[in-house]
Structure 1
Amino acid sequence: MLTPEELKQYQRQIILPELGISGQEKLKAARILMIGAGGLGCPVLQYLVAAGVGNIGIADNDVVDLSNLHRQILYTIEDVGKPKVLTAKEKLGRLNPLVNITAYTERVTVENAERLISQYDLIIDGSDNFPTRYLINDTCVQLNKPLVFGSIFKFEGQVSVFNHQQGPNYRDLFTEAPSEGEVPNCEEIGVIGVLPGIIGTLMANEAIKIICKIGETLSGKLLTMNALDCSTNIFKISSKTQIDTIPKTTVEKHDNLEEKEISIDLLKSWLDKTPEEVFLVDVREDYEFEEDNIGGINIPLYELNEHILSFPIDKKLIFICQTGQRSKMAIKIVKPFFNGEIFSVKNGIL
């Protein structure tokens, strides 16, 4: 039951016929856990609190750093050195005192993941490292919790919904984690400040749709966005892994993806000895390709769909990128429509 104050505060979204009073009541009753109070967590939290989600947990053990402020706009320079979750709770409480916010000043680990995640209806992953992402995913699968996922890298962002209504999970998209240090983080490679706001807002929108049971979610899809040209694409994700066989703390190989990976040394050997048998595609952005490349043609990952029919099936189709992650995604995109040999260069050109 909504109070007169709540009816007035949320009236601009309550009048939407798709949402209405019933949708606002669902938001009020919802319990959402936001993992990470950084670049993605800030916009997600601000919009969900403003929307009237009744119970929100925030888990993060980090403190505000001066370098955070260009993209984590919930914080100010006066907050530098303070715990993020406590600072966020205090500021979000001023934004909407009707929302119950619980702060967990701890990092999500193997020891506490089940305890934290089991208390909530919906989990949102704003973490910035692969071990945590796999841990969150696996715990959500085991506890049957829907998961909203987002990630950012330089000028590019991704959003998806996992483990929702028997849909695919994170391991169906990325079967194995890269080695530690294989993929640089934003501290090492940078990120444009507005990107977390764009991606985080999309994540909050997915959460609202799931809670209110409206619209069409990104379950079974990966939305990608490039801030340099404002291009967006949506790729379909198929469900391959079995829920009851996913380990909680280890990473398995699926679909023999490891067998499709080659070293850059092997690629160079093929290019040197049998170049006529190789069709090399660099799936990085144009500006990355222009800065440094080892040959081949440049087709950014999000434009691959337009070129699949032009790839020769009588040659080794090889994808390469900066770190090896986008080239793995390229295999997933092309594989259903290509009958030839496909390879990804492990660790990219780093």
Structure 2
Amino acid sequence: MSRYARQIALPEFGPAAQDRLAAAHVLIVGAGGLAAPVLQYLVGAGVGRITLMDGDRVSVTNLHRQTLFRMDDIGKSKADTAAHHMAHLNPDSTIMAVSAPLDPANASDHVTSADLVLDCADSFAASYVASDTCLAAGIPLISASVVGTSGYCGGFCGGAPSLRAVFPDLPERAGSCAADGVLGPSVGVVGSLQAQMAMAVLTGMTPAPLGQLVTFEAIGHRFGGFRFDRAHEPQGGFGFIAPAQTRPDDWLVDLRAAGEAGPALPDATRLQVTDFDRSDIRPDGRRAVLACRTGLRSWQAATRLRARWDGDITLIALGDLPQGD
């Protein structure tokens, strides 16, 4: 136990906490910038099993913040490469790499087999899918996000309110690292906080981070946050499905521009978000399935449709084609 002597020596930790880490199974969604500190600290601390999901490959534009990777890793699977590097950090920790994103089709199987889920994905659709699945299964979720110089980390589900209780609506524009930029150290700070919250949940430290959101602003080095233990779950929100979960009788709408990159969606009607301001655009009793790349345009179109139609609406975030395909 000399490897863990310094953390076992803490009065708040001790041998029992170390045993709980060794017995834990953690699902980490995303193997990018947030996952870099998360993986290193959780593997280093002795978490017994980790499932790591990411469908992307290492890119040179990510190396400034995704510090698990090296130049020789460019083009390789993020999940496989991160698992390989972590195997050399601590043989006590077993990492199963899944080179696929978390989506509505596979979320239940992966979430329900874990004791804790960490949302390190750069996708609000994946975050909502993880939260919805964790809420239904009673599994705690530590979700974090960083764009530009600002970020947050919070403890959701597992007896606390879900991500939707704090963020019931999407913004008019969803920020991204690619479009808005991001500072590597900002990601490191929030990822380290995410690892600390995970350790607290797994070992039963008090006060528990579930029901708490912490914010960080790199410019000025400011922390903030609040508790949301009594936040109410919103009614009537829009859920996500995978393309394979569509039905023949669905009213399937593709909101991407003609020629926009991404997976094909055969048999879909192509519309724009603004088309849903028209009263004649409606699904005539069928389930409305609205698809776009990230899910943002689908959410915006669904909000317009909901204002005048109370039928079943669900969303698809198609994403991009896998890198290298």
Summarize deviations over 1:249-299 as a string: whole Å, max 9, x none: 38xxxxxxxxxxxxxxxxxxxxxxxxxxxxxxxxxxxxxxxxxxxxxxxxx
Write the letter of the residue equivalent to 1:75: F
Aligned to 1:121: 115
Q: What is the deviation of 1:127?
A: 1.1
Aligned to 1:68: 62
1:1-350 to structure 2, matched below 5 A, reads 7-164=1-158, 166-178=159-171, 182-237=173-228, 238-241=230-233, 248-249=239-240
Q: What is the deviation of 1:178?
A: 4.0
Summarize deviations over 1:303-331 as a string: whole Å, max 9, x none: xxxxxxxxxxxxxxxxxxxxxxxxxxxxx
Distance 2:237 2:90 in 1: 39
Distance 2:234 2:138 in 1: 13
Aligned to 2:286: none
Q: What is the deviation of 1:246?
A: 7.1
Q: What is the deviation of 1:129?
A: 1.5
Write the letter of the residue equivalent to 2:187: P
Write the letter of the residue equivalent to 2:13: L
Distance 2:171 2:238 in 1: 17
RMSD: 1.6
Summarize deviations over 1:227-250 as a string: whole Å, max 9, x none: 11111112232320179x877538
Q: What is the deviation of 1:177?
A: 3.0
Distance 1:229 1:205 in 2: 22
**Kept after mapping to 2: 8 A contact 1:159/1:224:** yes
Distance 1:157 1:126 in 2: 12
| Alignment TM-score, normalising by the size of structure 1 | 0.66
Kindly indicate which of the two structures has a greater share of residues assigned to helix.
1
Summarize deviations over 1:10-60 as a string: whole Å, max 9, x none: 111111121111110000000000000001011101100000000011000
Larger-Rg structure = 1
Structure 1: state its 5+ residue gaps: 1-6, 251-350
**Kept after mapping to 2: 8 A contact 1:131/1:177:** no
**Kept after mapping to 2: 8 A contact 1:138/1:246:** no
**Kept after mapping to 1: 8 A contact 2:28/2:52:** yes
**Kept after mapping to 2: 8 A contact 1:124/1:147:** yes
Write the letter of the residue equivalent to 1:171: R
Larger RCO (CA within 8 A; separation ≥ 6) = 2
Distance 1:196 1:233 in 2: 16
Summarize deviations over 1:92-121 as a string: whole Å, max 9, x none: 000011111111111111110111111100
SS in 2 for 1:222: strand
Distance 1:12 1:235 in 2: 31
Aligned to 2:248: none
**Kept after mapping to 1: 8 A contact 2:140/2:210:** no
**Kept after mapping to 1: 8 A contact 2:143/2:194:** yes
Summarize deviations over 1:139-180 as a string: whole Å, max 9, x none: 00111100001110111110100013x22110111102346x
**Kept after mapping to 2: 8 A contact 1:130/1:178:** no
Distance 1:128 1:198 in 2: 16
| Count of residue correspondences | 240
Write the letter of the residue equivalent to 2:184: G
Write the letter of the residue equivalent to 1:81: G
Q: What is the deviation of 1:220?
A: 2.1
Distance 1:214 1:232 in 2: 21
